[in-house]
Each structure stands twice: as C-alpha cells, then as structure tokens.
Structure 1
C-alpha cells in the first residue's frame, strides 16, 4: 500500500517532509524537532529489540501528557506492538486491572502514577520503564541496563553516519490489524478495552487532514486533553503530527490561567476543547458582563447590540490567542444557551460527535456551515442511521457503520455482541434525530453512562458496585445533578443496628463515601448523597428501575 493509504505511512511521510521543524515541546521545557522525534523512536526500537518485544506484543502506557508519552506511543506502534493507553488519574487498582487484562509485556509509567503502582500486582509485566526519563524500574533482561547505560554508543554503532531520513523504517501494518486498546474504564475486575484497528486511525486522521485544511505545517497546537482519551489523541496529536504541527504539552493540571497563557504565547489556529472550558469563559465572563447595566439595556437596541456582539467576538478571539480559525467542541454536550449565543455572534466554533468505539469520529461540520444545536454530519467513510420509524422527527438510537468502527472489546465477546452486529452496525447507545441534510441532533442517552466535565466516560454501575460492597450500604444509585455525581443510598439497617454504635447513619455513610472516593478518579467521585427511607423500585429481575430516579 502507498503511504497515503496507511496510518503509519501518513506519520512516516510527515516526519520526512518536516524533518527540520519542531514537533513537540513540554510547557516551559525542551523542544523536539521531527528529526529528533525520529531518532528517539529508533532508540526505543533498540530497547524493544533488547527485551525481545515481538510484533503484536502489548505495551501499556500510563502518564500525564508529555513529549516522551507521545514518543513512546508512536515508537510502540511503528515497531509493530499494540499500545494500551490508560488514563493517568485512574486509581491503582484500576491500573493493575487494565495492565493485567491487556496482557502487557512492557509498562511505561509516569512519575505521578508510579506511587499508585505495585509491581507485585502486575506479575506478568516483564519490564517497567519511567516515561519521563526512560529509567528502568523493573526488568528481567540482564542486557537491558547495559544497553540503556550505553545507548549513545549502541545507537552510533547501528547508525554510524547518524540517523538519516532513509533510516526511518516503520512497521507495515494491515487495515484490520489491531493498533491500540483504549480502556474506557478500569474500576471493576472486568475493564472494557476498545480494540482500535489501523483502518480507524487512518480514516480519522485522513478525514481531519482533508477537512481541517486551514491547519498548516508549523502551526502551534495546545494539548489540553489527556492523550489516553481518543478525542484528544486523535485531533491534538495524530492530526498535528500528520500535518507537521508543533504540539505544546502543558504537562501539568491545566488551570484556566495556564491555558490562557499558552494560547497567548502559542497563538493556535485550531483548538480542541471540551464544553467545560468554553462554558466557563462564556458564562463567567461574557454573560455576567452582558447582564450588567447599562449594557443590559443597550443590548436591546439592534444597532448597538450588533456593535456589542462584535466587540465580544473580538475579545473572545483574543482570549484564545488571536489567531483562532476554529474551535472544535466535543466529548460532552455543550450548554444550549452558550451554543446559541456563540452562533448568534458568529464565533468560529463547531460541535463534533464521536465515541471511543469509533476512534472517535462519527460526525463533524466546519463552523461556517455548522447548524447550531447539531453535532455535524457523518464524516467520510461512515454511515449513520436513526433506529426510528421517522428518523427526522421521532427520536431513535443512533447506529453507525464504517471504516472508523472498532474490532470489538478485548477478551469480551459478550459485550461486543451487545453493541456490534454481524452486519457491522454499531449501536451507540445515544438517542437522536437526523434532518434532511444529515445533520445529527442528539436528544439524550439510552445508556446509563455519564459524561464527565472533560469528556471522561463515567459508568455509574461501577461506582454503585463499590458503594454496595461497603458495610452499611444495601443499595445505591448514582445520578447526575447539576453536573455532579449524586448518590442515592438505601442503608443496610441490619448492619448498622448490629454495630451498636452511637454514630449516626449520616456519619457512617459519609465515611463510606470518603473511602469509596479514594478508589475513584477525581472526575467520577461522589459529591453529594441522599439517604432513602425505602428500597428502590425494581423490575421482576430485581434490577432497579433507573428511569424513576434522577
């Protein structure tokens, strides 16, 4: 196959074309050129050869966004290994579950994750390497330390003329070949790993290259979203590397001030964002000012209103660095009022739709033709239909089919069969309609999954299982209230009475929630709770009737 028809071919071609341009920078840190990127990949390949990594072996990767995370990701795939990406804010138990479940042979771990990892609980991992400096934390290879200590010498022996563009040799993948496993969750002992084939990575990246034409080689991109999440990975990283852009990693928790400073310094033309970032700026800064006098009165006068809106738009463009051509919002629903306002002032934003199982793209539209409240139109090589007798007017489940879809869930044929039919149609679990021009409008979710503030997938059943396994909770239900997780709890009164304690039920449950939260990522922690006097209503199968509780 031609390079243009292969994902790794797109990356290889971009490295050749942009050899002397910058590719990655850590926040206030060092910068790699594309040629340095290529050499670091080759150095990791030497390490993989030393520890006998074979094509198809699994390499797990868990750490905060940084240059070495990206280098490790591309080095693993270009070697022919299968990457398993893990969100760094998972708790230790979840990380152990995932590393074991995916059969990882090598584990690259970030310094902020290392404190949560117990090597004894991942016994099948042969090698553990620190992401930040590639220091060896565990190895069964006697030769590895020797090679790493003398890597510059070993590298020079292999490439005596220095590393040249002609030395760049990537794995020749097949479209249906498994490229990476992305875990949407890991809290239970049966985590769900989405198997993304190379055709999906190629199709998503190819579409982004062709549809986001204004992004040029050398443009700066701010990486705010976790690379272990497909949304951030696909469009802040894969697109950027394939286009020859310069990615800037914030490398720390991205506070609003750090993000704004980065925009001002880097002046990106494209921003990939989750709704929370946009909503905070509009609601706290713009709506507050527009509701003050005399602006609140003046805005009712058409001519003055247009001038005010023009100034607001210019100010927003400036907030995002001054050179922004488009902001793509995804990962969760954008506040309706915010969306209407942005469309009203002709701010260059659009809303895309996708899911991890599609690597992630399902729909998108350029901001100038984007229809407010929609999430765009089906992307190239993807079909979308609404499982409804009248798809334009009657809400039904959104089902999709095409090049972007996953192979299935790793070692979980039952879960795969529930969503992926033999005919290739994937049930998204989302409800929506599609108009005559194929714009998709999401109306809700028929799954129980809750989307976190930064687009993370939150599975309430997993939190409920942890709660129900505590001493004083008989039943629980996790619901979303005002954007936060709220637990409805029916206490185990028998256990509480047997305790013969003067401690109140409220304090006992509060203590249980504190302990459960310690086992959960920050974005899926319980913020508040309500104690129920009666059991939940149930179906004949004894399942809680979720639709009765909000």
Structure 2
C-alpha cells in the first residue's frame, strides 16, 4: 500500500543492462566527474576525479581483456574484495560483456568461499590480495568450472587491459547491446543469518528499478540546488545495499568515492577530505558516530553541554515532525532560541565532522532507533531509515518528501505493493523481486506465495500507510512462561547507551529474558580514564568493576522502561570480545547471526541463568517469573 498523492513520477522502463547508463552519460556529458580516486601514498593528500569518459574507457579496456580471456555472456564471475575503486570498474566491465557478478564478502571463511564459488558455478574470481589467492587456491580442486583467478594488488586490471588491447571496441559494444533487462546481473548470496547462504538471482531491471525510482522522486535531496551530489561508498559491495549505492551513483551521475576501511579513524578522515553531500550508512555506524561525538565532548569537558544540545536537537526535530504531519505548530520560541544557540556552538561542529556538506542520509540493513533519527535531524542531517531485502533488489520504501515520519521506514515505492499478514509478517509484491534462488526451486517456492514474497520480517502499516519494522519473525523469543518477546526494540535501546556496543536478547524456553552485551572499547577506555578512582591497584579494579556493573545495569534498566515487566531483561552478561564478521557472528551487512551467537555462547548463557536460579528461594516456579525481579548483572572474564 502507498499514498499515491505523495508518490514520485513513473520512471521510463529499462531497455538494456546496467552498464548502458554509464555509456549514455559518457556520450552526453563526457567531462562530468563520476569517480573520485584517493591519491597514492607519497602524493599530496586528496582525491583525483575521473570523468564519465575516463570511467567508460577504463571499463571498455577491462571488458576487452575479459573477452580475450574467454569470459562470455552468462558466465558468472566472483569479486572477493573490499569496497574500492577497482570493484566498480570490474563489475561494470562484467555487465558490459553480459557476465554476471557474484559478490563475496572479503572476510568470508574458506568454506563459505568454496560454497559460493561452487554453487554459483563461477568461471573466475577477482581477489584483493595474496590472502585471497591462498583462500581460493585451497579450494580450487573442488571447483571444476573455475578458470581464472585475478589479483588486484598484483595489477590484475592492467593485465586485463593489456591482454585485450588489440581487440576493437566494437566487440564490446556488440555484447553490451544484446544484454536484456531481464538478464541476470548479480547472484547475491543472502547473509545467511541461519543455515547455508542462498544465491539470489537479480536482473538488470530489478536492480535498476529502485534506483531510478529513488532518483526520480528524491534525487533533488542528494545535494543543494546547482551542486553535483557526492557519495562516499564504504558499505560492502558484497551486500545488496552497497550495490544499490553504487548503482544510484552511476545512474544518477553522482560523484562516488570509495573507502575500503571502516574503522572510525579511516571513515572520519575520508568524510572530512572527500566531503560528501549525502550519506549511506547502517545503524551501527550512525550509533558509533553519535558516541564519538559524545566522547569527544566529554574529553573536552563539555559532556553536559553536548547532552543538553542533543536533547534540544531531538525536541526540535520532534516538533518539526509534528508540524509537517499536521499535528502541531512546530517549535516554540524558547526551543527555536535554544536550537539557534546550539547551532552556533555544537551542531555546526558535528556536521563538520561529517565533511560539512551532508544534509540528508539513509540508514539501512537493520532498524534505526527513532531517538537517533531525531538527533540527527535536529543537528541538520535528516536520516531516512530505509527498508529492503536482497530478494527485493535493495530499497523497497522511502519517506515521502515533506511528510517524513521518524520511527518508520516510510511508504512503499511506486510499482511495489506491501501488505501485512495476520501473524504480522510483511509480504511484498512487484517488479523489483528476485528471479529465484539459484539451483534451489524448493527454497524459492517456500518464500513466494501467489506472487507475494514472504520477507520473514514483522511490522505494521499505520493509518497513513507508513511501514514500521518490529523485528524478524524467526527472532521472536518464547519464554518458558509462554511470553512472546521481539528482541529488536530492547537491543536498539541498549545500544543507545555509550558503553554498549552490541546486544543480543535471549530467552527461548527460559524463565525470563536475558541479554549478552559487548562494550564499546574506545568509550570504555575513556570511561575508565574519567573515573579516576583512588587507591591501590586491586582495590581500584574492584571499585571500577562495581561502577561498570552499575553503569551497564542502568543501561538495561533504561531499555526495560520501554517494555512490560514480563518482557524486560532480568539477567545479562557482558562478554569480553565483540561479535564480528570474521568470527562468523555478524553478517556482511553487520546484522547479528543469532543462532550462531547462541551456539557459540551456549555455556555462558546456561551459566547466566544457572547463577541467577541459585539465588532464588526454593519454591515451585510460577507461570510468570515473579522471582526474577532484580536484574542479575554478571560479567565474564
């Protein structure tokens, strides 16, 4: 469902493949800057711009090398690399010759790489470095279709260009022109939050459709009038969200730069030097930025000032929202004066940390808290919480321009339909859906029901057709007392505390809800330094641990304030190490692999509940866990 009065205009249907837009832009505006490439070490710091014509010529050169190497239309080629300039060049070269891109996350395990390359039947793979060569080499014996392994850091693209130098450019054009909109462009493997990853076949039409719709309806929000939009791509291109960002930039004529390293330092440096006008991120990045703002203010002795400014930003944004939705007059005089004061002293500095030009942003991959969305809007950077799946080729919803509503993911894009089943599951139908899971008809039939895709996500549509996501259907926890608990809201609120990095709510078949918590290393170090407890080392460490336990307990109590007592967290443990992609506990899009986390920490979870049960009086357990009134706070070492 959607509000037709707020929908953008219909976009022209796609007539060819994804690469065509690059060639059309290069023919129309050859001097338009489209890519920004960081200068090599030893050169003056900064970025060199690559024009549309230069971008096209590099793609043609690599495409000729692929043809000379025997890569044909319909062949599948994997890319096992971080988000970098060469990823874009190589993927567009593959689409130009009609080949299919198989993205693989660079931290994938040996078994994961073997499964994807074998399941997709890849004829080649582009790796980033020697480690990638070794990983692929260790599984080559089980990959009879694999003929090529190219290494980026060994000059793979230059080698391909040299190999195809004698081929005429007309050979590339002839292949590009026979690529059809419904040809498969990408086989994107699902994140695999449970079970083995499945390869989603996505057509050129499906990948282009959401991008063209967003550009038609919201392209004017990417940059101020008269300016070219600029986007820093740092999300993994191995995930459909990252691929969508790449396609949006190329199809929309936006200037795109790449940042392969996602540490706070690397991102901060890239944002300040490249100065994007629009930001695409995931909630964990936006949460990290918020906590960095707070930590920096505290180090400067201005923590209280920042917190007052943050509260004012949220209040101001909430008042703006009420006005644009017709529910209130907007910010009052006192609030406008306070906001103006903090604009001069705080908010402008925060925007400068993002490069100084970002006016709007999109968050995707998992739900963004309303509190955080209001904060960013209040400092002058409206963040739209987006929604989409690999199976929907990326973006599925967007906030209607001028009617944005934080805490929702907006309304469904034109051409698509959304409805909510009786059990709360979100169902989707429309032209952007995937072609099916490669080689798995049964799995495809299991999620497609009379043309509707069963997303596995839970949510609801309000009376204005705004969609809100409440969690994953398979993530709902059923306690031994029969209480159903959706963990997403609790985890979201826990992460808002500066010390909390990650949180996983557990409790299936347990007497109450529990949580596994990891701490923010940088904020923890700052917190310890600021505590400055007196005394000898043993006594100081004991007092410090008690203080930390109390602080985390306050975070849990704050999260519990949003739910009923029977849904609240009664036991928790703080883990010594964060969950990460390399350890198999996060997906490439940084979502929690819940089943794997529960398996990995099974002993710790058992001990958490066992320790609390030993403190209970000996009596028959009630249906509701009335004996679990005080949250247990157990730390792991």
The verdict on a shared fold, with TM-score over 0.5 as the criterion, is: yes
**Compared CA separation, residues 7 and 308, structure 1 to 2 (3 A):** farther
8 A contact 1:77–1:171 mirrored in 2: no
Q: Secondary structure at the match of 1:104?
A: coil
**Which residue matches 1:270?**
278
Which whole-Å CA distance do the structure 1 matches of 2:306 and 2:148 have between them? 65
Give the CA deviation at 1:386: 1.1
Give the CA deviation at 1:89: 1.3
Give the CA deviation at 1:48: 2.6
8 A contact 1:330–1:352 mirrored in 2: yes
| TM alignment of 1:285-364, pairs within 5 A | 285-286=293-294, 292=304, 296=308, 302=335, 305-311=338-344, 312-344=346-378, 347-364=381-398
**Compared CA separation, residues 190 and 446, structure 1 to 2 (3 A):** closer
Q: Deviations over 1:103-160 (max 9, x none)?
A: 0111111115334222334332011112345539xxxxxxxxxxx86955852x445x
**Which residue matches 1:491?**
none
Which whole-Å CA distance do the structure 1 matches of 2:288 and 2:195 have between them? 36
**Which residue matches 2:516?**
481
Comparing 334-343 and 372-381, the one that deviates more:
334-343
**Which residue matches 1:419?**
447
Q: Secondary structure at the match of 2:123?
A: strand
Which whole-Å CA distance do the structure 2 matches of 1:263 and 1:106 have between them? 34
**Compared CA separation, residues 270 and 533, structure 1 to 2 (3 A):** closer
8 A contact 1:4–1:10 mirrored in 2: no
**Which residue matches 1:126?**
147
Give the CA deviation at 1:444: 1.8
**Which residue matches 2:411?**
377
Q: Secondary structure at the match of 1:381?
A: coil
Question: Which of 100, 106, 113 is 2:132 aligned to?
Answer: 113
Are 1:446 and 2:473 counterparts? yes
Higher helix proportion (structure 1 or 2):
2
**Which residue matches 2:35?**
24
Question: Which of 251, 255, 276 is 2:263 aligned to?
Answer: 255
Which whole-Å CA distance do the structure 1 matches of 2:390 and 2:30 have between them? 31
**Which residue matches 2:229?**
219
8 A contact 1:434–1:441 mirrored in 2: yes
Unaligned runs of 5+ in 1: 137-147, 389-394, 455-459, 461-478, 485-509, 537-547
Question: Which of 401, 424, 437 is 2:429 aligned to?
Answer: 401
Give the CA deviation at 1:258: 2.2
Q: Secondary structure at the match of 2:113?
A: helix
**Compared CA separation, residues 167 and 59, structure 1 to 2 (3 A):** closer
Which whole-Å CA distance do the structure 2 matches of 1:275 and 1:93 have between them? 29
**Compared CA separation, residues 320 and 531, structure 1 to 2 (3 A):** closer
Q: Secondary structure at the match of 2:262?
A: coil
Which whole-Å CA distance do the structure 2 matches of 1:187 and 1:434 have between them? 26
Give the CA deviation at 1:366: 5.2
| TM alignment of 1:128-147, pairs within 5 A | 128-135=149-156
**Which residue matches 2:565?**
none
Q: Deviations over 1:435-468 (max 9, x none)?
A: 22211011221034999999xxxxx9xxxxxxxx
TM-score using structure 1 length:
0.73
**Which residue matches 1:207?**
213
**Compared CA separation, residues 315 and 397, structure 1 to 2 (3 A):** same
Which whole-Å CA distance do the structure 2 matches of 1:329 and 1:519 have between them? 23
Which whole-Å CA distance do the structure 2 matches of 1:104 and 1:402 have between them? 29
Q: Deviations over 1:159-209 (max 9, x none)?
A: 5xxx79x96962433333222100124799943111111221121221122
Give the CA deviation at 1:531: 5.2
| CA RMSD, 1 decimal | 4.2
Q: Deviations over 1:19-58 (max 9, x none)?
A: 2233333433465432232222222332232232222111
Comparing 5-14 and 260-269, the one that deviates more:
5-14
8 A contact 1:65–1:227 mirrored in 2: yes
**Compared CA separation, residues 313 and 278, structure 1 to 2 (3 A):** same
**Which residue matches 2:537?**
none
**Which residue matches 1:532?**
606
